[in-house]
Amino acid sequence: MSRAAPPVREARVRALAKINLDLRVLGKRPDGYHELRTVFQTISLSDTIRIAFTPSRETRVELNDPLRIPGNLALQAAELVLDAARTRGRVAIGLTKRIPMGAGLGGGSSDAAAVLLALPVLAGFALPLPRVCELAAALGSDVPFFLLGGTAAGVGRGGELFPLPDRPSPAALLVAPGLHVSTPEAYRRLSPRLTTESQQNKIFSFQSLAWDGGVSKAACNDFEAVVFQQYPQLARLKRRLQKAGAFQVLMTGSGSAIFGLFRTDAEACRARSGLAGENALRISLVTRARYRSLWWRALGQHIDQKIWPPRSRYAR
């Protein structure tokens, strides 16, 4: 009699993009990275990831990535998870990209975090959150944020995270001009401008912004000075959004995408029509509560309880 094929456990999850509602770079650290103060925010724009896990004696991780992204972090995340859990099996990942790359929207980091959250659930083991955060930080500075979502203050390399309160989303537009900005290059250009005297000031103004929940006219992104110098069209785009009535307009991460927050939907719609020819999208800011409920729904049949991080029903 032939033995039944091992069960395949599958899920289709959304990996959301982020914007930085504020981003200050304090200086270079002994490890070569830069010390940050930032406010991360998940947004409604997302990639879709299908993940299938089949128990097997051999480990094989396959990625269906039509864009053939070099060094894809989702693949690395799957290998790290199986290694950390000392589990073998076949993993098939299918990626549908919608988040523009090199735009400061954290698409690759979010894809990786999605695998870190979903694969343990499908494979039936529990990795404690601190361990998953450690794996996430090894993959990239922005990856840990996507394990938590919502609005969060990020310090250190960006992976030390503290929750900020959920609140209703203002009307928002995101313009992705299709320019690919290199993050290491942006840091290299910014680094010589950072002086120790300005740090104290930055910390206090960041703190006051964080107490306001991250949305404020006083918000800033230190990368704008160097990236706008290289791409003056981005400075022009920012001015257009400001003129269209946005009360907060900032580049996200090291660029190139720019977002604008508006007081009303009507204002955001008008601004979008005025940006004909630009890739301007209506987005909403996704709260932590919504982020979690999207995850619980996506993993529905594989979990028993609504707890965070999602916990496998197959885990012993």
**CA proximity to 108, closest of 139, 64, 150, 148:** 139
Q: Is 298 helix (H, G, I), strand (E, B) or coil?
A: helix
Stated as kind and residue range, the H or E segment containing 28 is strand 9-28
> Of the listed pieces 2-10, 63-71, 135-143, 195-203, which binds ligand C5P according to CB under 6 A?
135-143
> Over the range 197-223, which residues count as b (16 or more CB within 10 Å of their CB) and which as e?
eebeebeebbeebbeeebbbeebbbbb
Tell me, rounded to whole angstroms, the distance of Cα 105 from its chain centroid.
6
Dihedral sign of CA atoms 11, 151, 219, 240 in order: positive
Which lies closer to ligand C5P via its Cβ, residue 222 or residue 267? 222
Question: Which pairing describes strands 60-64 and 89-96: parallel, antiparallel, or unpaired?
Answer: parallel
Give min distance, CB of 292 to ligand C5P, in A: 24
Which lies closer to ligand C5P via its Cβ, residue 160 or residue 166? 160
| Token pair 């990368």 in the structure block, residue | 223
Which lies closer to ligand C5P via its Cβ, residue 186 or residue 281? 186
Q: Is 141 in the site for ligand C5P (CB under 6 A)?
A: yes
Among residues 22, 47, 111, 142, the one annotated as catalytic is 142
Which lies closer to ligand C5P via its Cβ, residue 8 or residue 225? 225
Whole-angstrom distance, CA of residue 139 vs CA of residue 242: 35
Q: Is 105 in the site for ligand C5P (CB under 6 A)?
A: no
Give min distance, CB of 234 to ligand C5P, in A: 19
Q: Is 144 in the site for ligand C5P (CB under 6 A)?
A: no
Q: Is 76 in the site for ligand C5P (CB under 6 A)?
A: no
Is position 217 annotated as part of the catalytic site?
no
Binding mask 4-43 for ligand C5P (x = CB under 6 A): -----------------------------xx-x-------
Q: Which residue's CB comes closest to ligand C5P?
A: 141
Of residues 100, 107, 124, 140, which one binds ligand C5P by CB under 6 A? 140
From first CA to last CA, the distance across the chain in angstroms is 30
Query: Which residues does residue 64 pair with via DSSP β-bridges, in sequence order?
Result: 94
Q: Is 158 in the site for ligand C5P (CB under 6 A)?
A: yes
Which lies closer to ligand C5P via its Cβ, residue 80 or residue 171? 80
DSSP 166-186: --PPPEEEEE--S----HHHH
Which lies closer to ligand C5P via its Cβ, residue 191 or residue 201? 191
Is position 18 annotated as part of the catalytic site?
yes
> What stretches of the chain show up as alpha helix (H) in DSSP?
73-84, 107-123, 129-139, 183-190, 197-211, 223-230, 232-243, 265-274, 288-298
Q: Is 183 in the site for ligand C5P (CB under 6 A)?
A: yes
Annotated catalytic sites, by residue? Answer: 18, 142
Query: Which residues of this protein are in contact with ligand C5P, per CB under 6 A?
Result: 33-34, 36, 140-142, 157-158, 183-184, 187
